[in-house]
């Protein structure tokens, strides 16, 4: 198998990669499956067959692991799935090297970002920031991304295909994890894209910039996949520099007292590029796509190209919706129906697809297309900025904070620090970053690996006795996730003598640890006798499983 991460690093990767995106738009005219969507039973079955195939495969490259992990996360799997865990371990190992020492190519760096954001943008914000900074460092003087500077022929030029993955990763990191990319980075890549359009309206492989923004110059290797790659990047950069927003405003369930800063004052435009310049270039490229899709191009890099098509069409539709226009469902989904029909027709009996990238990457690309991967991204709520106010718990929100909603409360983003530092802050209390440390513990209690939590079980047990009830409850949940039986005596004590909210959490944790039920349910209104009886039940159980600790 020749995976896409290896093939994409060869000279002329896409110069010979005749994309077939548009072919899927004209291949099938019959309306028999016109209602195809990611929720169609046949589509869902095809995705599950693809996932079953991927579960049996091995992928050695970090970028390949991240692509497989992204596919499973988009399908609803989490860290408990072996392929997701394998990808997470590989990506985190790269992040530990530091932003300036990451050895991954641009494709793999962008995919790793997308994987981490899809998995949990709060929990893995530190790693997301490391990968984003790596892309910032590696942006070339010409304005975009490409092969390393040491490459014999493309060391100074920028690559349209690689640039799309850098732009995608940085956009998702900024939009959903709050990891900002400097305005100058977005400006530079926008300028490069606007200067590398072919006179035909399409885009090529190694972009040759014109002398002025918006002017066109002859490009080599103009292809469908590269044109839609450039278009997707243009839609995103137009959004990022302060023009039309791709994502609609969603109701985060916040109290009406909280007012979006961006609703009060529109984000400033951070570029001197006129909006009409974006419009002219994008319109010409869209016309090129509509004109040049041809069934005869359905030959090479098929599934890589289909995934690029899915991103382009999803972003294009979001851009149209941002103008308060609405395409008809048939017009909006025409590209999806025809692409899905092709994939359903060509899927192998064991669930895989294969063209030039190899069976593992191509199967990922096919599944991501069918699931509507970019649609899923566009449907996720962005990190939002709210005016300062008071938390439900009474804690003050720092003005201009980036916030999220957790368990019905408006809270700050979690602290970016190792777990020992988080626990140290919470044990000391009353520090400037205390609220952010609470959120970091909340994420650890839900998402941290049990073995990591067990390493810090003593500190977590100490937190059971702090005055902050929310922190003590989160520590209880963390000990439950850790599966540490050494914490049982402290949990039993909480059941019998702790605050009602803590007693309830401790009782639930004990049932999970023991894999059995107590003789009575503990809630906020349980009387002392009921709590004593449940505590005695768990003491008897603990004497059986840990007699050496029950003397």
Report domain extents, the chain: 4-29+55-378, 414-549
Residue 68: is its pLDDT beyond 90? yes
Residue 220: is its pLDDT beyond 50? yes
Q: Which two tokens stand for residue 346?
A: 């060509």
CB 208, CB 238: distance < 8 Å: no
| Distance from chain centroid for Cα 189 | 21
**Closest alpha carbon to 304 in 58, 36, 67, 47:** 67
Task: Look at residue 400 in the predicted model and tell me its pLDDT.
Answer: 53
Provide the 10 A C-beta neighbour count for residue 137: 10
Task: Look at residue 1 in the predicted model and tell me its pLDDT.
Answer: 32
Q: How does 22-51 read in b/e, with b if 16+ C-beta sit within 10 Å?
A: bbbbebbeeeeeeebebebeebeebbebbb
Q: Which two tokens stand for residue 76?
A: 């609803």
For tokens 């098509």, what's the residue?
A: 309
Q: Is the pTM of this model over 0.75?
A: no
CB 71, CB 364: distance < 8 Å: yes
Q: Is the dihedral of CA 179, 184, 240, 307 positive or negative?
A: negative
Residue 300: is its pLDDT beyond 60? yes
Residue 212: is its pLDDT beyond 60? yes
Q: What is the rounded distance in angstroms from the CA atom of residue 324 to the CA atom of residue 313?
A: 17
Q: What is the mean pLDDT of residues 391-415?
A: 59
Residue 268: is its pLDDT beyond 80? no
- Which backbone phi and psi does 224 adopt, to 5 degrees? -60, -50
Provide the 10 A C-beta neighbour count for residue 99: 16
Q: Which two tokens stand for residue 238?
A: 């137009």
Q: Which two tokens stand for residue 374?
A: 């970019």
HEC readout, 181-230: CCHHHHHHHHHHHHCCECCCCCECCEECCCCCCCCCCCCCCCCHHHHHHH
Residue 392: is its pLDDT beyond 50? no
Task: Look at residue 158 in the predicted model and tell me its pLDDT.
Answer: 85
- Which backbone phi and psi does 132 adopt, to 5 degrees? -65, -45
Task: Look at residue 244 in the predicted model and tell me its pLDDT.
Answer: 65
**Closest alpha carbon to 161 in 178, 181, 147, 141:** 147
**Closest alpha carbon to 353 in 408, 307, 295, 399:** 307
pLDDT band at 150 (very low <50, low <70, confident <90, very high): confident
Q: Which two tokens stand for residue 121?
A: 């943008």
Residue bearing the bigger pLDDT, 331 or 309: 309
Q: Which two tokens stand for residue 356?
A: 């030039």
CB 382, CB 247: distance < 8 Å: yes
Is the domain 414-549 a CATH 3.40.1130 member? no
CB 341, CB 36: distance < 8 Å: yes
- Which backbone phi and psi does 158 adopt, to 5 degrees? -115, 155
Of the segments 225-239, 266-280, 372-386, which one has the largest average pLDDT value?
A: 225-239
Which fold would CATH assign to domain 4-29+55-378?
Glycosyltransferase (1.50.10)
- For the chain, helix (H) and strand (E) counts, in that order, are 24, 5
Q: What is the mean pLDDT of residues 294-323?
A: 78
Least confident of 62-71, 216-225, 408-417, 423-432: 408-417
Q: What is the mean pLDDT of residues 104-131?
A: 89
Q: What is the mean pLDDT of residues 278-299?
A: 79
- Which backbone phi and psi does 529 adopt, to 5 degrees? -65, -40
**Closest alpha carbon to 265 in 387, 145, 140:** 387
Q: What is the rounded distance in angstroms from the CA atom of residue 54 to the CA atom of residue 48?
A: 10
Q: What is the CA radius of gyration of the chain?
A: 26
CB 63, CB 35: distance < 8 Å: no
Strand pairing category for 206-207 and 158-159: antiparallel
Q: Which two tokens stand for residue 83?
A: 């392929």
Residue bearing the bigger pLDDT, 295 or 244: 244
Residue 267: is its pLDDT beyond 60? no
Q: What is the mean pLDDT of residues 453-478?
A: 88
Helix axes 82-95, 125-138, angle to 10 degrees: 50
Q: Is the dihedral of CA 234, 237, 242, 246 positive or negative?
A: positive
Residue bearing the bigger pLDDT, 397 or 172: 172
Q: Which two tokens stand for residue 222?
A: 């103009």
Task: Look at residue 298 in the predicted model and tell me its pLDDT.
Answer: 59
Task: Look at residue 54 in the predicted model and tell me its pLDDT.
Answer: 93
Residue 21: is its pLDDT beyond 70? no
Residue 155: is its pLDDT beyond 90? no
- Which backbone phi and psi does 360 adopt, to 5 degrees? -70, -55
Residue 113: is its pLDDT beyond 90? yes
Element (H, E) at 302: helix 302-321
Task: Look at residue 468 in the predicted model and tell me its pLDDT.
Answer: 84
The helix/strand/coil state of 66 is helix
Residue bearing the bigger pLDDT, 429 or 231: 231
Q: What is the mean pLDDT of residues 470-483?
A: 88
Q: What is the mean pLDDT of residues 397-414?
A: 64
Q: Which residues contact 500 (CB under 8 A, 6 or more apart)?
A: 523, 524, 525, 526
Distances in Å between the alpha carbon of 523 and those of 124, 304, 332, 456, 540? Answer: 34, 53, 50, 28, 21
pLDDT band at 301 (very low <50, low <70, confident <90, very high): confident
Q: What is the rounded distance in angstroms from the CA atom of residue 371 to the CA atom of residue 307?
A: 10
Q: What is the mean pLDDT of residues 520-525?
A: 78
Residues shown for the chain = 551
Least confident of 83-92, 379-388, 449-458, 530-539: 379-388
CB 473, CB 501: distance < 8 Å: yes
Q: Which two tokens stand for residue 392?
A: 């439900």
**Closest alpha carbon to 3 in 363, 368, 372, 373:** 363
Q: Which residues contact 490 (CB under 8 A, 6 or more apart)?
A: 461, 464, 479
């Amino acid at each position: 198998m020749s995976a896409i991460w290896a093939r994409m690093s060869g000279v002329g990767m896409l110069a010979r990669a005749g994309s077939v995106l548009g072919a899927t738009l004209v291949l099938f005219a019959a309306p028999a499956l016109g209602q195809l969507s990611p929720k169609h039973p046949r589509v869902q079955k095809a995705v599950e067959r693809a996932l079953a195939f991927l579960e049996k495969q091995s992928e050695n490259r970090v970028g390949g692991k991240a692509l497989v992990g992204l596919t499973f996360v988009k399908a609803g799997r989490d860290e408990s799935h072996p392929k997701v865990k394998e990808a997470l371990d590989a990506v985190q190992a790269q992040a530990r090297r530091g932003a300036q020492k990451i050895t991954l190519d641009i494709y793999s760096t962008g995919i790793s970002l997308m994987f981490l954001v899809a998995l949990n943008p709060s929990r893995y914000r530190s790693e997301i920031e490391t990968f984003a900074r790596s892309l910032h460092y590696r942006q070339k003087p010409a304005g975009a991304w490409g092969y390393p500077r040491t490459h014999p022929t493309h060391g100074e030029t920028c690559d349209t295909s690689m640039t799309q993955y850098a732009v995608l990763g940085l956009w998702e990191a900024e939009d959903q994890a709050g990891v900002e990319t400097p305005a100058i980075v977005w400006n530079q890549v926008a300028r490069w894209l606007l200067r590398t359009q072919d006179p035909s309206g399409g885009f090529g492989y190694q972009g040759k910039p014109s002398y002025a923004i918006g002017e066109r110059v002859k490009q080599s290797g103009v292809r469908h996949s590269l044109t839609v790659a450039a278009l997707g990047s243009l839609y995103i950069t137009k959004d990022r520099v302060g023009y039309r927003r791709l994502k609609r405003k969603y109701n985060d369930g916040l109290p009406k007292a909280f007012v979006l800063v961006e609703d009060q004052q529109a984000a400033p435009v951070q570029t001197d590029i006129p909006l009409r310049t974006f419009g002219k270039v994008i319109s010409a490229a869209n016309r090129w796509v509509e004109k040049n899709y041809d069934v005869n191009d359905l030959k090479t890099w098929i599934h890589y190209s289909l995934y690029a098509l899915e991103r382009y069409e999803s972003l294009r539709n979001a851009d149209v919706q941002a103008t308060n226009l609405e395409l008809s469902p048939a017009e909006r989904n025409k590209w999806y129906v025809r692409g899905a029909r092709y994939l359903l027709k060509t899927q192998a009996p064991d669930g895989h697809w294969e063209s030039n990238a190899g069976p593992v990457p191509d199967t990922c690309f096919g599944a991501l297309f069918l699931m509507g991967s970019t649609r899923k991204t566009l449907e996720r709520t962005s990190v939002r900025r709210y005016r300062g106010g008071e938390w439900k718990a009474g804690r003050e929100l720092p003005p201009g904070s980036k916030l999220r909603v957790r368990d019905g409360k408006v809270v700050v983003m979690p602290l970016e620090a190792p777990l020992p530092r988080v626990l140290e802050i919470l044990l000391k209390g009353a520090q400037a970053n205390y609220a952010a440390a609470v959120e970091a513990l909340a994420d650890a209690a839900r998402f941290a690996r049990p073995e990591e939590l067990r390493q810090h079980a003593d500190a977590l047990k100490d937190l059971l006795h702090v005055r902050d009830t929310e922190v003590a409850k989160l520590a209880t949940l963390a000990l439950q996730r850790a599966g540490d039986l050494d914490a049982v005596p402290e949990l039993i004590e909480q059941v019998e003598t702790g605050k009602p909210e803590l007693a309830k959490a401790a009782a639930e944790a004990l049932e999970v640890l023991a894999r059995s039920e107590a003789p009575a349910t503990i809630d906020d209104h349980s009387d002392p006798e009921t709590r004593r009886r449940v505590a005695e039940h768990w003491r008897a159980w603990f004497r059986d499983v840990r007699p050496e600790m029950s003397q």
